[in-house]
C-alpha cells in the first residue's frame, strides 16, 4: 500500500462527520455482535479509502468515491443520502436477486447506472458496498 495521503486520525474524523451529517446510527450499544463486526468492517474500508485519497466526504457530508483499480474514466461517484425511492429500487428485482437489489439501490443513491458497479474491480466495489451498507444499516 502506498503512503497515506491523509492520516488515520483525520480519516476517522471525516468518517465521523459523514455519520453525523447523514444521521447514521453507530452506537455499539444498539448493535449485536454481527452488527458490530459488520460496522467495523465497513468503517475500515471507507476510512482506508479516505486515507488513500480515493474517497472524500464533501461539504454536505456525502461520500464521494473515485474508483482507482477499475481503470474507468467516469466521474467520481457521489453517494447522496438515500430516499425511499432508493429502497424501492430493490422491488424491481426478483426475491433471490440480492446482488441485483444492492446494485439497484447503489445506482439510485449515486445517480449512476447499475452497470457501472457491475464492471468495477472488486477492491473498488467493496468501497461502494461499504458506503451503501452504512447508509442502509
Question: Which pLDDT value is given to residue 113?
Answer: 93
pLDDT digits (tens, 9 = 90+) for 8-48: 999 999 999 999 999 998 887 888 888 889 999 999 999 99
Helices (H), 53-121: 84-88, 98-110, 114-118
The pTM of this model reads 0.88
Cell 466521474 sits at which residue? Answer: 75
Geometric angle at alpha carbon 50, from 45 and 56, rounded to 5°: 125
77 closest CA partner among 132, 15, 14: 132
Q: Which residues of 84-114 are buried (b: 16+ CB within 10 A; e: fewer)?
A: eebeebbeebeeeeeebbbbbbbbbbbebeb
Amino acid at each position: 500500500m502506498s503512503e497515506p495521503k491523509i492520516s488515520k486520525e483525520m480519516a476517522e474524523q471525516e468518517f465521523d462527520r459523514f455519520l453525523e451529517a447523514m444521521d447514521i446510527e453507530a452506537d455499539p450499544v444498539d448493535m449485536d455482535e454481527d452488527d458490530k463486526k459488520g460496522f467495523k468492517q465497513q468503517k475500515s474500508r471507507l476510512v482506508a479509502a479516505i486515507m488513500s485519497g480515493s474517497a472524500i466526504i464533501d461539504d454536505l457530508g456525502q461520500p464521494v468515491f473515485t474508483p482507482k483499480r477499475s481503470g474507468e474514466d467516469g466521474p467520481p461517484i457521489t453517494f447522496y443520502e438515500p430516499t425511499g425511492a432508493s429502497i424501492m429500487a430493490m422491488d424491481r428485482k426478483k426475491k433471490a436477486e440480492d446482488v441485483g437489489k444492492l446494485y439497484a439501490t447503489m445506482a439510485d443513491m449515486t445517480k449512476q447506472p447499475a452497470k457501472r458497479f457491475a464492471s468495477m474491480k472488486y477492491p473498488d466495489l467493496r468501497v461502494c458496498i461499504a458506503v451503501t451498507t452504512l447508509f442502509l444499516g
